Chains A and B, each alone.
Chain A
Amino acid sequence: MTPLEPGLAATFVVRRGSGFVLDATIEVPAATTVALVGPNGAGKSTALEAIAGLLPIDSGKVVLGDRVLDDPATGDWVSPEERRIGVLFQDYALFPHLSATDNVAFGLRCSGARRPAARKEAAAWLDRLGVAGVGGRKPRRLSGGEAQRVALARALATRPRLLVLDEPLAALDVTTRTRLRTLLGEHLSAFGGGRLLVTHDPADAFVLADRIAIVENGLIVQEGTVAQVRANPRSAYAADLVGVNFLVGTATVGEVAVAAGGHLTIADHAVSGPVLLTIHPRAVSLFPEPPHGSPRNTWQTNVVAIQRLDDRVRVELAPPLAISAEVTPGAVADLGLAPGTQVWAAVKATEIAVQPG
């Protein structure tokens, strides 16, 4: 077990020239993955730049462990090259003129290693990340998945105290993404320091993160474990984000045995093995009687909780298929829905998105 690295505690305000203001508190304890999630333009990249030292903050304080990295009030400032914060940039930002090995060796060379030693260690990192064979290639000859792991090796090789990942899976196609998400999770767990994961994809937060911080319009609107945020989303965006139903299971010819219990019929007959299912709450219908119709999946369950969000209502259903349904206030009244009410749920097989996992 790697000794625990200190965590990040950042409370800061950054004003950008465009008039955009980011006012955020972001804490990343050691050995914890925090997902910073938000729509485009919400301030995720600005937060990343402020933490990495690529952008000075206007007020507040950025602290990593016992070291103050940026504090305008006292004038404390640690430049990015001295912060020991590893960054996995969006689209990876590999050095196009250097081979994969030399990309990874770059940071080691900067900390004083001689070229042969740096290359040797870089090769070991590539091996650890499962891309030992690509060392001699330039970035333009790497696949998206290989580039991602080379970039991760490059960030990890400098032995950072905090790892920041900016949309690490966005550049990959869907099939690769699911596989590499699982793999990335393993590498993140092996890294002892804090992990800040910037993403717009709820699946990343669901699979990889211990905690989630939601940023909207330059403010952190909610922070907590995924379950906490799901139980009480404070904005429509948060509800949409965490409200999407994720289920893991094993597929065999159009049928998925859900890990938590129960079976679901899916439209895709080609996929088999571990899968990640995504069901939007809007795709879940509720009936007072057993429905007879086209939906392939119907089951009897109980209402666990009801949440009103503006003009929509989220209805949480009981395990084993503990998913939520989104209905109108009128439907709630018609069906007399309340915690404990017995209902039939229905989901069309074609509404279940299946990703191999």
Chain B
Amino acid sequence: MNAPGRRHRRGALPIGVAGLAGIGVALVAVPLVAVVWRVPWSRLAAVLGDEVVVDALRLSLATSAGAAVISLVIGVPLALVVARTEIPGRSLIRAIVTLPVILPPVVGGAALLYAFGRRGIVGGPLYEATGILLPFSGWGVVLANTFIAMPFMVLTVESALRGLDPRPEAAARTLGASRWTVIRRVTLPLLRPALVAGFVLSWARALGEFGATVTFAGNLQGSTQTMPLAVFVALESDRDAALAISLLLVVLSLAILVGLRDRWLRSW
């Protein structure tokens, strides 16, 4: 006989687990609520209409979208190479391209300077040959964003590739499809959920990029000052502006996350 006791629903957890989970939620939610709480709602329109803010928003959207597109174009082939080929040093390649995920972004920015700066090993010859300077330019922001964001694309797509049923692709070969046609008409459509997820993740990561951007591209209003940088500057000068831009970033990030759900991630 079972001893009488409280009936538990399936999946019921010890109270301690729920308590710790609650602390976890609070840790993230409370600061977000604080931002919303302190936002100067009456001045919001004026603050957001400020030239500094508009410039930062425009620059952030353009550079982060650019970084996401470049991550897609380069990151997907990279994921295919890492997941599908057996070239020597494959695991080393994988480690190198995913390093920026855990590398302090400021170190990434410094590394970019040594590579693409005016006296960098690539940037020096490039400047002498063409006069093009990447640091402290909009393209520098895109480069820094891509450096930080692309690993998210590579990791997302690579993991999807490993879970992909290989037989539809084999079937396509036997039906007369060249390797390129298989990628275009079978592999990429099957990867669609991962491509969308990777794109959104890398875009969101680029949108929030701070350390590598400020180190490599600087903080020039109108050309390299993205929204996170503008928040940082405004915290020193105009707290209301900092709060308003922060709110905007929270809303944008939330919109991206919500957009990522369901519809685009649905498989067949």
Interface residues in chain A, defined as those with a beta carbon under 8 Å from any beta carbon in chain B: 49, 52-54, 79-83, 85-87, 89-91, 93-97, 106-107, 110-111, 138-140, 154-155, 158
Contacts and interface: CB of A to CB of B under 8 A. Distances in A.
A154 B181 CA distance: 17
Contacts of B173: 53-54, 79-81
A91 B172 contact: no
A89 B176 contact: no
Contact of A86 (B168, B174, B189, B268): B174
Contact of B189 (A52, A91, A97, A139): A97
Contacts of A106: 172, 175, 177, 185
B171 A111 contact: no
A52 B192 CA distance: 28
Chain A CB count within 10 A is highest, among B167, B173, B176, B267, for: B176
Interface size class of B (residues with CB under 8 A): 20 to 34
A80 B170 CA distance: 9
Most buried by A among B186, B189, B268: B268
Contacts of A83: 174
A95 B170 contact: no
Given A95-B186, A97-B268, A85 B174 contact: yes
Contact of A110 (B168, B175, B190, B192): B175
A336 B250 CA distance: 91
A85 B192 CA distance: 29
B185 A81 contact: no
A89 B171 contact: yes
A81 B180 CA distance: 12
Given A81-B178, A87-B174, A107-B176, A96 B190 contact: yes
B177 A110 contact: yes
Contacts, number: 73
A81 B177 contact: yes
Contact of A158 (B167, B176, B185, B268): B176
A82 B190 CA distance: 24
Contact of A97 (B171, B175, B181, B190): B190
B165 interface: yes
B175 A93 contact: no
Given A81-B173, A81-B175, A90-B167, 15 more contacts: A52-B174, A79-B173, A80-B174, A81-B177, A86-B174, A87-B171, A93-B168, A94-B168, A95-B171, A95-B172, A96-B268, A97-B192, A110-B172, A140-B268, A155-B174
A81 B176 contact: yes
5 contacts: A80-B174, A93-B170, A95-B186, A96-B190, A138-B268
A83 B186 CA distance: 20
Decide if the interface of chain B is mainly helix, strand, loop or mixed: helix
A110 B176 contact: yes
A155 B176 CA distance: 10
Contacts of A87: 170-171, 174
B29 to A, nearest CB: 38
A134 to B, nearest CB: 15
Contacts of A138: 268
A81 B174 CA distance: 5
A58 to B, nearest CB: 17
A211 to B, nearest CB: 23
A139 B186 CA distance: 14
Nearest to B190: A97
Contacts of A79: 173
B178 to A, nearest CB: 6
Contacts of A93: 165, 167-168, 170-171
A54 B267 CA distance: 27
Interface in B178-225: 178, 181, 185-186, 189-190, 192
A87 B175 CA distance: 8
Nearest to A90: B167
Contacts of B192: 97
Contact of B175 (A53, A91, A139, A154): A154
Contacts of A140: 268
B177 A96 contact: no
Nearest to B176: A110
Contacts of A95: 168, 171-172, 186, 189
A94 B190 CA distance: 12
Interface in B16-38: none
A52 B169 CA distance: 13
A107 B168 contact: no
Given A81-B178, A106-B175, A139 B268 contact: yes
B223 to A, nearest CB: 42
Those 5 A-B pairs whose CB atoms lie nearest each other, nearest first? A107-B175, A93-B167, A110-B176, A96-B268, A80-B173
A89 B167 contact: yes
Contacts of B170: 49, 52, 54, 80, 87, 89, 93
A336 B148 CA distance: 85
Contacts of B181: 110
B165 A111 contact: no
A97 B170 CA distance: 16
Contacts of A81: 173-178
B267 A96 contact: yes
A282 B173 CA distance: 45
Interface string B36-76: 00000000000000000000000000000000000000000
Contacts of A94: 168, 171
Contacts of A85: 174
Nearest to B172: A106
Q: Residue among A83, A90, A93, A94 with the most chain B CB within 10 A?
A: A93
